[in-house]
Amino acid sequence: MKPIELTVALESTVIAHGLPHPHNVALARELEQIVADEGARPATIGVIGGEAVCGLSEAQIEHLATAEDVHKLSLRDLPAAIARGWDGATTVATTMHIAHLHRIPVFATGGIGGVHRGSGPPGSGSFDVSNDLEALATIPMVVVCAGPKAILDLEATREVLETRGVTVVGYQTDEMPAFYSRTSGLPVDVRCDTPQEVAELVQACHQLQLRSALLVTVPVPAAAEIPANEIAPTIDAALAEVAARSLRSAEVTPFLLRRLGELTRDRSLHTNLALLRQNARVAAQIATSLTRM
Ligand code: PSU
Ligand code: MN
């Protein structure tokens, strides 16, 4: 009997708003291939003409990667996108929601959103916390990432994950990775060295009927890493530009990722691609371990 193939969800905001063309199209294709090579089924998620699509076709991915009028859909934008027939790319939070509706247990992304630097308390005028954290707290599935994006306030993001009861797993590491860098100085809750060990944690989550996600953080491969002290001044420079331009909240992350690519002459882009590939591979391996249980 052929074993059941588990699906691994992939998001589309990273394709439409996180990576430049033509890298985004090539990468989207590559991630699906990596998942398939590991014996799982890839499903890239996005919204086409007001329909939430779980398993975009190549043409649909290409459309989201190249068209001008593709919305960045956080969860709050999803009702309008469906009712008004928009095309849109789904963030981590929105992808998790749609994947969960389709009972998909594992999702791979690059870096999660979190608490932005300088974010004050609600009402302070500077409150900016990604809806990704809310989704992680309320949607039960495995989310594989390279840590919160380095442009964020990592300490505060780590703290909110704890407050909201999200178990942070270090995949072959004791430290939460920081997207471009393998280290952050911040701890994980539990270390797993194999996909099987992650699968055992998933089983425990099920038994306990926990409603939160299991956040598996995988350090970027050493060869592609940009050490934290090297990327820090560049992030500061890009953040200063954000402040000078008074960008709207949803525009901040795409702007920062693009500027970092320009300022590092594509070094950060290649790091981003490397970690996305690795996360897809680990996610697929976790999915295959889950089918064996
Ligand atoms: N990971 C990447 N690149 C990206 C993103 C993640 O490597 O562009 C996207 C994800 O879709 C994530 C979003 O949900 O950035 C966070 O945006 P915001 O900070 O506006 O919530
Ligand atoms: Mn935000």
Test site for ligand 1: of 76, 132, 154, 157, most ligand atoms within 8 A of the Cβ: 132
* Coil/strand/helix, residue 5: coil
Residue with tokens 């981590």: 92
* Res 281: pLDDT: 98
Q: Is 111 in the pocket of ligand 1 (CB under 6 A)?
A: yes
What is the atom index within ligand 1 of the atom nearest the CA of 254? 8
Name the token pair of 239: 């953040």
**pLDDT by residue (tens digit) across 160-181?**
999 999 999 999 999 999 999 9
Nearest ligand to the CA of 132 is 1
pLDDT at 2: 52
Distances (CA, A) of 177 to 143, 145, 158, 218, 242: 14, 9, 11, 7, 24
Active site residue 2: no
The answer to whether residue 134 is catalytic is no
Q: Please state at what angle helix 267-292 crosses helix 249-263, rounded to 10 degrees.
A: 120
Q: Which residues contact 119 (CB under 8 A, 6 or more apart)?
A: 126, 127, 128, 129, 153, 156
pLDDT at 248: 79
Tell me if residue 164 falls in helix, strand or coil: coil
Ligand nearest the Cα of residue 12 is: 1
What is the predicted pLDDT for the residue at 247? 86
Query: Angle 36-287-65 (CA atoms, 0-180°, nearest 5)?
Result: 50
In tens, the pLDDT along 198-252 reads 999 999 999 999 999 999 999 999 999 999 999 999 999 999 999 899 887 789 9
Distance 67 CA to ligand 1 centre (A): 18
Q: Which ligand is nearest to the CA of 45?
A: 1
Catalytic, out of 32, 149, 175, 225:
149
**pLDDT less than 70: residues of the chain:** 1-4
Q: What is the pTM of this model?
A: 0.96
| Residue 4 confidence (pLDDT) | 62
Answer whether 94 contacts ligand 1 (Cβ < 6 A): no
Q: Note the pLDDT of residue 123.
A: 85
